[in-house]
Amino acid sequence: MKPLAGVRVLELARILAGPWAGQMLADLGADVIKVERRGAGDDTRAWGPPFVEGADGAPLAAAYYHSCNRGKRSILADFESAEDIARIKALAADADILIENFKVGGLARYGLDWPALRALNPRLIYCSITGFGQTGPYAARAGYDYLVQAMGGLMAITGEPGREPQRVGVAVADLFTGVYTAGAALAALHRRAETGEGGHVDMALLDVMTGVLANQAMNLFVSGQSPGLTGNSHPNVVPYQPFATADGLVIVATGNDRQYQRLCGVLGLPELADDPRFLTNAGRVANRDVLVALLAARTATMARDTLLAALEAQGVPAGPINSVAEAFADPQVVARGMRVELAAPHVAGGRLPQLRGPILLDGEAMVADRPPPALGQDDADWQWR
């Protein structure tokens, strides 16, 4: 039995952050009912191509939608319909967790806001996800991942010096917010076991984005200097970056002095291991340009795979820069089973590939066995099971 078996989650969320939290809870065994607007449903159903091909050859929802809605049931609601609002309230009355990402106050007009549903179900854990939170001068604004990556400082440290800042290639503000929402909901669930009372989780993409700046935030707090663009080098560790070889790039990520010394041995540069300028990481950071140039001159003469094999043999962290396709063909990724396939009779071939969640519990991968639902597929059977 999965750890969240018997936990009921009502998802009034669309796009990514809320659905990602709902999918994480579904993977852990929760019964998740996703409420979608009548008509088009979740916006991401149309966010393609590519689209998943149906058993009849017609396109189903976009791959994007299928990335974050595994394990759920789908029912439909017109929020202007008293009957549909009554159904949602009936589900909320017996839910453990509710996830919503409407604008601040957006659900109050329907009687689905936190104060109204708390009165209906005092044990409910109500998770609100917005761009900027329930309070503060930006609370009423709409927030999107791209905007929040920019406003939250991440883009200012992502990209090469002298060039335009870059966003990260996946919606990290949304994804982190989904993970934090799931964690907060489970913490509130644990507290409820002691107090009998639910609670209101207020999650903001901007809070999360600034909250995961980690060492870069501390670099600012301690030094007073705002971090900037450093490309693929690390602001605090050297050498920790790509190096060109005779036939491709490798990433070298030395995390301590011993690894650096072994790197010098592999490269046939023992004099750099003993050079007083480079004995400590602080010295290597201070003399970054000189050291990197000396190391790069040597790696440029070596074959990529030969260098990688030699570094692995000496315990120096290093690896190739894989494409997404190469990453999923990597033997380690294959061995860990990060790609799974779920039975899906409505999909061409009867199987739907999925990216499993990364949680293993007692050796069991925590991944729901039900594929993302077709729009409204459970509308006739909307009660909790």
Question: Which of the residues are catalytic?
Answer: 174
DSSP three-state, residue 336: helix
Q: Which of 138, 60, 74, 140 is nearest to 102 (CA)?
A: 140
Q: How many helices (H) and strands (E) does the chain have?
A: 15, 15
CB 165 within 8 A of CB 5: no
The closest alpha carbon to 121, from 92, 141, 144, 158, belongs to 92
Could you give the CA distance from residue 100 to residue 291 in angstroms, rounded to a whole number? 51
Q: What's the alpha-carbon Rg for the chain, to the nearest Å?
A: 25
Helix residue ranges, H only, the chain: 17-27, 63-66, 82-93, 114-120, 145-151, 172-195, 205-211, 214-223, 257-266, 270-274, 281-286, 288-299, 304-313, 324-329, 331-336
Identify residue 325 by its one-letter amino acid code.
Answer: A
Q: Report which of 42, 37, 38 is spatially closest to residue 60, judged by C-alpha positions.
A: 42
User: How many beta carbons lie within 10 A of that of residue 346, not counting itself?
Assistant: 15
Nearest in space to 66 (alpha carbons), one of 379, 359, 324, 340: 340
* CA–CA distance, 286 with 160 (Å, rounded to integer): 19
The CA distance from 326 to 344, in Å, is 26
Q: Angle at the Cα of 141 (from 164 to 79), degrees rounded to 5?
A: 125
Residue with tokens 């409420």: 35
Residue 73 has φ and ψ, to the nearest 5°, of -105, 155
CB 157 within 8 A of CB 147: no
Q: Give the separation between CA 105 and CA 123, rounded to whole angstroms.
A: 21
Q: Which two tokens stand for residue 115?
A: 């104060």
Strand partners of residue 199: 125
